[in-house]
Amino acid sequence: MKLLASLTSPYARKIRVILAEKALPFELVVDSPWEANTRIPELNPLGKVPVLITDEGETFFDSPVIAGYLETLGAPPALLPPAGLDAVRVRQTEALADGVTDAA
Ligand SMILES: N[C@@H](CCC(=O)N[C@@H](CS)C(=O)NCC(=O)O)C(=O)O
């Protein structure tokens, strides 16, 4: 799979940490939405990184969505509870971290 990301994006860094924790092989494609020749708007209507392209050619964007997709691959360690209140709590912590980053 390919991760399209800028090297400074904290959202992309979150995904890179998950990929490293799970030892999932991927190709990092450095792409910045602010560059004139960016491919990001073709892949993400929101025009933001990170974007993940799976080995099957499906595209996922928005880091919580990408994190959820990576969890479905089943590679240890599990980073999200499968369902229930614990899963909601983890999502809330992620939303808080993303919100603090958005505000910074
Ligand atoms: N909610 C998104 C936020 C992604 C985001 O804001 N990425 C920034 C880089 S850190 C971006 O691509 N900004 C481009 C723009 O706003 O035009 C996620 O979690 O993936």
pLDDT digits (tens, 9 = 90+) for 3-56: 999 999 999 999 999 999 999 999 999 999 999 999 999 999 999 999 999 999
- Considering the domain boundaries, does residue 26 fall inside one? yes
63 lines ligand 1 (CB under 6 A): yes
Question: Is the pLDDT at 104 greater than 90, yes or no?
Answer: no
How far does the centroid of ligand 1 lie from the alpha carbon of residue 61, in Å? 10
Q: What is the CATH number for 12? A: 3.40.30.10
Check residue 82 and give its pLDDT: 87
- Considering the domain boundaries, does residue 30 fall inside one? yes
Phi-psi region of 84 (alpha: psi -120 to 50; beta: other; left: phi over 0): left
The number of distinct structural domains making up the chain is: 1
- Considering the domain boundaries, does residue 40 fall inside one? yes
- Considering the domain boundaries, does residue 27 fall inside one? yes
Question: Is the pLDDT at 2 greater than 90, yes or no?
Answer: yes
15: domain range? 2-78
- Considering the domain boundaries, does residue 90 fall inside one? no
- Considering the domain boundaries, does residue 88 fall inside one? no
CA 60 – CA 3 distance, rounded (Å): 10
How far does the centroid of ligand 1 lie from the alpha carbon of residue 51, in Å? 10
